[in-house]
Amino acid sequence: MRDEDVPAWWGALGLPGLVDMHVHFLPEPLMAAVWRFFDEARERYGVSWPVTYRTSDAERIATLRALGVRIYPALVYPHEPGMAESLNAWARQFAADTPGCVASGTFYPEPSVDQYVRAALEAGTRIFKVHVQVGEFDPADRRLDRVWGLLADAATPVVVHCGNGPIPGRHTGPEPMQAVLRRHPQLTAVIAHCGMPEYAEHIALAERYPNVHLDTTMVGTPFTEALMPFDRGLLPRLAALRDRVVLGSDFPNIPYRYAEQLAALERFDLGDDWLQAVCWHNGQRLLG
């Protein structure tokens, strides 16, 4: 499948487009820093990671529109204290200026976190992103306890990168997020990358907690299969979770064309109903 084929692909499923739960836009200096990080991927991960959609904000917005991505967040995340509040303001303004983009936010364990997360919710933020690996903090940090509770009560989805892929961090793996869910079992957590490489353990979290979702970001693509293959024996469990799997891509920071993610999901051979739920209905329900 080529990117040019994507609209015909979702059209054949009877969908009005795609909802992608894992899209990144950042202030220009931060995005440039992220791209420099991926430029050094061979030293970090042992493989090259060329960013396919390394273009301007306007060009990337146009690319998403051409693909038929109708609804998406501009996920932001901090790597140190003192960043999250300004990132939240930037993301709200970006969403206000960008048709189809949903206001997103983030947070970090710091003294003001309760205040600025509550303010972001009141200002219309509809989804949050937490990157445990980049932030190098424990999601079960007690300073975040009230925030997790607030988001659980608000039924606001939180995309959490908590797995050990592509390389382990100080607080990655299923255990820290499991500790959060034990305290806040109603939390609408969206496990990024299906928790790779601990796919089975994170699927088990979705089976245990009623509001845990899994996003498909990079899962099943040839690039990821060469590094952290998805065990096809898990497919029946993924099929049973049809209503809690959502499309994610990691656009623009992917080392292949967008269409490869959709082709990977089709190769799972879980049926049109599953693809329809994953690529539109579940994300539309979460983001409204």
pLDDT digits (tens, 9 = 90+) for 27-45: 999 999 999 999 999 988 8
Q: What is the pLDDT of residue 179?
A: 98
CA distance 90 to 96: 10
Nearest in space to 23 (alpha carbons), one of 55, 66, 85, 69? 69
* Domain membership of residue 220 as a residue range: 3-287
Which tens digits make up the pLDDT trace of 253-273? 999 999 999 999 999 999 999
CA distance 122 to 102: 14
CB-based contact 253:33 (threshold 8 Å): no
Total number of domains constituting the chain: 1
CA distance 162 to 139: 9
Quick one: average pLDDT of 3-20? 98
Which tens digits make up the pLDDT trace of 186-215? 999 999 999 999 999 999 999 999 999 999
Residues 6+ apart with CB under 8 A from 169: 132, 133, 134, 136
CA distance 269 to 149: 37
Whose tokens are 């109708």? That residue is 70
Quick one: average pLDDT of 220-238? 98
11: region left, alpha or beta (phi > 0 left; psi from -120 to 50 alpha): alpha
Quick one: average pLDDT of 4-22? 98
Percent above pLDDT 70 for the chain:
100
CA distance 126 to 102: 7
Q: What is the pLDDT of residue 288?
A: 81
CA distance 239 to 86: 39
Q: What is the CATH number of the domain that holds 220?
A: 3.20.20.140
231: region left, alpha or beta (phi > 0 left; psi from -120 to 50 alpha): beta
Does the predicted TM-score (pTM) go above 0.95? yes
Q: What is the pLDDT of residue 14?
A: 98
